[in-house]
């Protein structure tokens, strides 16, 4: 296990990212090439990857619509967990979001995962008691 390198995702990484998510995290309606390409078109710098040489070991997306920001698709390779890689990815995403004008960032935390709760609390996120996250699936 070498030094972890962090860099933005590019279109040539998409196959590896999709393969990585199959084992590293839950499925999702935006786990598609098309969805990633749309995001990269909008904010190429905010989709950050962590690498051990040519092995993809972590992902995070700092989503920003100019009004609200959120962090998504945080996932770390099982064998690379508990080494501070997620903390570093979130810190990098936060710095970029701040540089774009964000003042508050949300995280959708899997409600069946104690590990996820522990992680988000450890990086300063707390349960939002003011609003309840409602969602509507717009897929055809």
Query: Strand pairing partners for 23?
Result: none
Contacting ligand COA within 37-66 (CB under 6 A): none
Stretch that binds ligand COA, among 3-11, 37-45, 62-70, 118-126 (CB under 6 A): 118-126
- CB nearer ligand COA, residue 49 or residue 75: 75
- The reply to whether 91 sits near ligand COA by the rule CB under 6 A is no
Query: Which residue of 82, 103, 104, 136 would you call a contact of ligand COA, by CB under 6 A?
Result: 82
Cβ atoms 50, 57 nearer than 8 A: yes
Residue 119 touches ligand COA, criterion: CB under 6 A = yes
Q: Any contact of residue 122 with ligand COA (CB under 6 A)?
A: yes
CA distance 110 to 31: 16
- 123: how many CB neighbours lie within 10 A of its CB? 15
- Tokens, residue 31: 């786990």
- Please state the closest distance from residue 140 (CB atom) to ligand COA, in A: 26
Residue 75 near ligand COA by CB under 6 A: yes
Q: How far is the CB of 93 from ligand COA (least distance, A)?
A: 12
């Amino acid at each position: 296990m070498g030094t972890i390198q962090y860099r933005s995702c590019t279109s040539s990484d998409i196959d590896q990212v999709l393969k990585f998510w199959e084992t590293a995290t839950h499925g999702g309606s935006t786990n598609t090439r098309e969805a990633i390409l749309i995001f990269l078109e909008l904010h190429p710098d905010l989709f950050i990857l962590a690498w051990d040489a040519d092995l993809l070991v972590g992902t995070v997306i700092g989503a920003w619509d100019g009004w609200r920001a959120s962090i998504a698709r945080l996932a770390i390779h099982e064998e690379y967990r508990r080494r501070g890689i997620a903390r570093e990815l979130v810190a990098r995403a936060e710095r970029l979001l701040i540089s774009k004008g964000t003042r508050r960032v949300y995280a959708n935390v899997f409600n069946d995962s104690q590990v996820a709760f522990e992680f988000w609390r450890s990086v300063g996120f707390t349960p939002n008691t003011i609003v309840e996250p409602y969602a509507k699936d717009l897929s055809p």
